[in-house]
Amino acid sequence: MRFEISKVLDAIEGRVCTDPSLARAVLDLAEIIRYQDIDGGRPASLLRLGMVIDALSRELEEDSVQVYAVVHRALLSDADLTSNERMVVRRWADDGLVEVLDNPGDRMLEVADLLGLPVLSRVRFDGLRGRFPWLVEQPGRVVAPVPGAGGPVFIAHVGGGHAPVAGKRSPTGAKLLARQWRCPESGCALFGGGGGGGAFADLAGGADRSPAAQPPPSLRNGVPTCPRHGARLGDGGPRPRAEVLAVRVGGLVRRRFVLSEEQPVVAGRAPEQDGGIMLGQWLNDEARRWISRGHVRFELRVGEVIVTDVSTNGSGIRPAGSMNEADRIPLAPQQSRVLGENDMIELYPGVQIGRAEELPTGAPFTPTSVMAEAPTMAMRLPRP
Ligand SMILES: [Zn+2]
């Protein structure tokens, strides 16, 4: 049983990030893990994070949905968690997957404000509605995870609506995210890479984090500040541009990924390149035979997404997402093309990649649960 639980925690690990382009909602981990009414289990359990992520996935009708978690420092030594859970949270903190704060205060709302994300919380934020008017003005910007028949569901309790809805990045957020930032604290997992570097730079956590994936700084008296260390951040120049692409297999968005100017991304059955996007797990036998290990390469150049077929069998472009066979433009091996705003590249019928916001979902949706490995005991639901 212990083994299965760590497999669930590994799966959950893939769903927490502080990347402004990938996070789909923000939450306070200390709050979520204490939703005892969701499963009637222990006072605190990290598995509840997985249940809430699954609920978000169902709601957004998308797989591999990621959340931005702020974590109170006290949680790293919370006796209500198992030692294994504490160790896992510490690892997430060291890797910059979650944001650890001495006093989370209103950081969760600040992140939601800067990034335009919905907030998953049962808190009512009465005193903060003046500072963050969207709390009440935009339905769905705050939804509370509550027990439901098949796991948690969301109810709106501040601004109305019934499903989590994203807003827009605030003007301040857009400005902050146009730059890259450096924390003077060496080995800062969130804004690393600028702490002097040197011989041990690659041993320090976060030192190899792409500047395109840096979280939003915290603003303290108008000064960009490291939320973790409270230190004033240095301006490291313009942030590399980035586009969010999404993989759709069989009509469902399976995952998103970031393409930045810094480096190309290869997608295929099982790419060998660093940061490659592996599709194999979603493919049937025929598609696996057709799609090469590395099948297409994406590059972002002066704001254009360039796609190059690097496969044996070739692929095709679906202009403006058209499913009409007559519109499909073949892309032969080694051929390149600019991917238009609404275009999708099709590696094999039903296996497509395009800009995330343009990819329509379609088919009835059953997301892959991060809890798939969870022992049934942990999934026990309260009796009605
Ligand atoms: Zn820092």
Distance separating alpha carbons of residues 313 and 232, to the nearest angstrom: 52
Tokens of 152: 């948690």
Element (H, E) at 93: helix 83-94
Kindly report the length of the chain. Answer: 384
Ligand 1 midpoint to CA 24 (Å): 23
Ligand 1 midpoint to CA 345 (Å): 39
Ligand 1 midpoint to CA 227 (Å): 7
pLDDT at 104: 85
Ligand 1 midpoint to CA 196 (Å): 13
Residue 256 near residue 289, CB atoms below 8 Å = no
pLDDT at 219: 96
Which single residue is written with the structure tokens 């002097």?
Answer: 196
Ligand 1 midpoint to CA 92 (Å): 15
Ligand 1 midpoint to CA 191 (Å): 6
Ligand 1 midpoint to CA 27 (Å): 20
Residue 298: name the closest of 355, 240, 254 by CA: 355
Distance separating alpha carbons of residues 248 and 283, to the nearest angstrom: 11
φ, ψ for residue 91 (rounded to 5)?
-65, -45
Ligand 1 midpoint to CA 228 (Å): 5
56, 191, 342, 361 from 251: Cα distances, Å: 19, 37, 16, 6
Distance separating alpha carbons of residues 340 and 336, to the nearest angstrom: 13
Ligand 1 midpoint to CA 254 (Å): 32
Ligand 1 midpoint to CA 207 (Å): 11
Ligand 1 midpoint to CA 208 (Å): 14
Distance separating alpha carbons of residues 37 and 42, to the nearest angstrom: 10
Residue 345 has, within 13 A of its CA and on its CB side, a CA count of 30
What average pLDDT values come out for the chain (384 residues) when binned by 10 residues? 78 96 97 95 96 94 95 96 95 95 92 97 94 94 92 85 89 96 93 52 52 94 95 96 94 93 95 94 95 98 96 95 89 96 94 82 64 54 44
Ligand 1 midpoint to CA 83 (Å): 26
